[in-house]
Amino acid sequence: MLQIQQDLLAALRDELDKLSPGAGEKAAFESPKVAAHGDFAVTAAMQLAKPLKLNPRAVGEQLRAALLAQPAFERWVEAIEIAGPGFINIRLKPEAKQQVVHEVLGAGEHFGRQASNGQRLMVEFVSANPTGPLHVGHGRQAALGDAICNLYQTQGWDVHREFYYNDAGVQINTLATSTQLRAQGVKPGDANWPEAAYNGDYIGDIANDFLAKQTVKADDREFTASGDANDLDGIRQFAVAYLRHEQDLDLQAFAVKFDHYYLESSLYTSGRVEAAVNRLIANGKTYEQDGALWLRSTDYGDDKDRVMRKSDGSYTYFVPDVAYHIAKWERGFSKVINIQGTDHHGTIARVRAGLQAADVGIPPGYPDYVLHTMVRVVRGGQEVKISKRAGSYVTLRDLIEWTSKDAVRFFLLSRKPDTEYTFDVDLAVQQNNDNPVYYVQYAHARICSVLAGWGGDVATLTGAELSALDTPAAQALMRQIAKYPEMLTAAARDFAPHDVTFYLRELAASYHSYYDAERILVDDEAVKRARLALVAATRQVLHNGLAVLGVSAPQKM
């Protein structure tokens, strides 16, 4: 089916170029809004009517006649119809649609994946400072980042996952002093407990383990406590390692792995921040005013110039971001995607301005950003706002423990990142069709049950004769399967893993409809094998799509 579509598209491109030189570059098939209208729709006739000074239907008729004479169309197309002002609807022969079953069974887990394009992509996500457990917002970011990585891997990119965090600064100082107070016996509610201190139970846990001289090990660091409550620097290092370890546990529960952890402090110790600032100064992109150093960011579309170095000598927060992204470029990442909360929106223009002003070869628009909103959690009809462990918010691990890793991932990916989302805990644990992840996983398990009932070797279905798959229900299911590769490409391009969740729900619905319409394990051996091949292909695509989301495909439910 994929090769057939490419052959048909090439033929369309040739005929459009004959009608109007250069028009073939825009050759495209669209999906008809009504499935009964056909398998592909072409709108080129309406687009060419004006430059050709012809009625759109006349252009459509001319194009229709030319396409019908093309070998690919003669072989694979059953009918071409003109509708409305000039829509061209293309109806494929049953055998053309049946080819997708062979393609899926032949490719297996590789169905929908593109060959390597030789390019490197970095996705930076989560990037939580080690000051507390990961909250539900971090969970949304983890799900988005991991799924976007998986999507780009299907498109042939060499993908690198990175976690960036600040291991110094005001928040880390607050963490250290809060932990020291707990180690000294001061607790929230006491008269001398600071208002800005962290109140969660986890601070007490850190203090107790520090006093017990415990050793903590995270993916990127290890530290042994001195047990001295006056050792503020030791408390700081221990607390950071402790919470990095806690974050590792959160991420492990969510099945998210990173290739590298990057410390903001390293940008200063390595001299990268100073080098970036000096480069901007040397390029004439800065000026001094009111004792501060300013970046001429308005030269690059920002609404106002931005302070880089304050009058006290410290750098504003976007300066290390500029240095960090220069480092990303120098490390060979031609494309970079940052997954961040919507509160980071204001940094986009100034970071990009700094990168252009640095003039190191970075293209405009680098890096890309995916901004997401926070998540409300509802349980028992009431919003849940506080976790005892965290002190002020629901943690990612809370949500996983209340539901499951699969439910949390699927739910958090089921809406566009920048839309508000309410996570319904009660819905996430229901085992019925109202629960979208259950609905999709049940379709996969249902197919596994059918194949187990048959008892044969699925590998033998690869060469099955498929002419029996000519019914409306079978055709609809094959049409849905065939959409998978293009859906993946579009979802990657648009940073839209929610498209995968929508697709999987539609595919599951198509399968459930097919299962209800046609008995699969019939007596006729040829018909049975054809139907088994179709449902085995459906299972494979469900499995592949769920894998992109990081969701399991259970064989039994």
Pick left, alpha or beta for residue 366 (phi over 0 → left; psi -120 to 50 → alpha; otherwise beta). Answer: beta
**Kind plus residue range of the DSSP H or E element containing 255:** none
So what's the pLDDT on residue 386? Answer: 67
Q: What is the domain partition of the chain in residue ranges?
A: 2-92, 170-253, 433-549
Q: Tokens 């042994």 appear where?
A: 224
- The per-residue pLDDT for 393 is 81
Angle between helices 318-330 and 272-282 (to 10 degrees): 100
Rounded distance between C-alpha atoms, residue 340 and residue 128, angstroms:
10
Q: What is the DSSP letter of 417?
A: T
Beta bridge pairs of residue 289: 292
Beta bridge partners, 377, equal 384, 423
| CA distance readout (Å), 508 to 147, 504, 505, 518 | 20, 6, 5, 15
Which residue carries 């609809």 as its tokens? 476
pLDDT of residue 388: 55
Strand ranges for 24-86 from DSSP E: 40-42, 77-83
Give the position of tokens 């992204």.
325
What is the model's pLDDT at position 52? Answer: 87
**Rounded CA separation 547/184 (Å):** 48
DSSP annotation string for 160-224: EEEEEE-SSSHHHHHHHHHHHHHHTT--TTSTT--TTS--SHHHHHHHHHHHTT-EEE-SS-EEE
Q: What is the DSSP string of 503-516?
A: HHHHHHHHHHHHHH
Rounded Cα gap, residues 292 and 294, in angstroms: 6
Look at residue 285 in the predicted model and tell me its pLDDT: 97
Intervals of the chain under pLDDT 70 = 386-392
The span from the CA of 317 to the CA of 483, in Å, is 44
Q: Which CATH architecture has domain 2-92?
A: 2-Layer Sandwich (3.30)
Instruction: Give CB contacts under 8 A, 24+ apart, made by 543-546.
Output: 543/109, 543/444, 544/109, 544/111, 544/112, 544/484, 545/484, 545/500, 545/503, 545/504, 545/507, 546/440, 546/441, 546/444, 546/504
> Checking DSSP bridges between strand 77-83 and strand 292-295, what pairing results, if any?
unpaired
Element (H, E) at 336: strand 335-341
CA 60 to chain centre: 39
Q: 384 - beta bridge partners?
A: 377
- CATH fold of the domain at 433-549: Isoleucyl-tRNA Synthetase; Domain 1 (1.10.730)
d(CA 67, CA 63): 6
Identify the pLDDT of residue 3. Answer: 84
* CB neighbour list of residue 400: distance below 8 Å, 6 or more residues apart: 253, 254, 408
Pairing between strand 421-424 and 375-379?
A: parallel
For residues 326 and 349, give the distance between their C-alpha atoms in angstroms, rounded to a whole number.
Answer: 15
DSSP 8-class letter at 350: H
CB contact at 8 A, 70 and 14: yes
Closest CA to 72 of 7, 143, 139, 162: 7
Greatest CA span in the chain, whole angstroms? 88
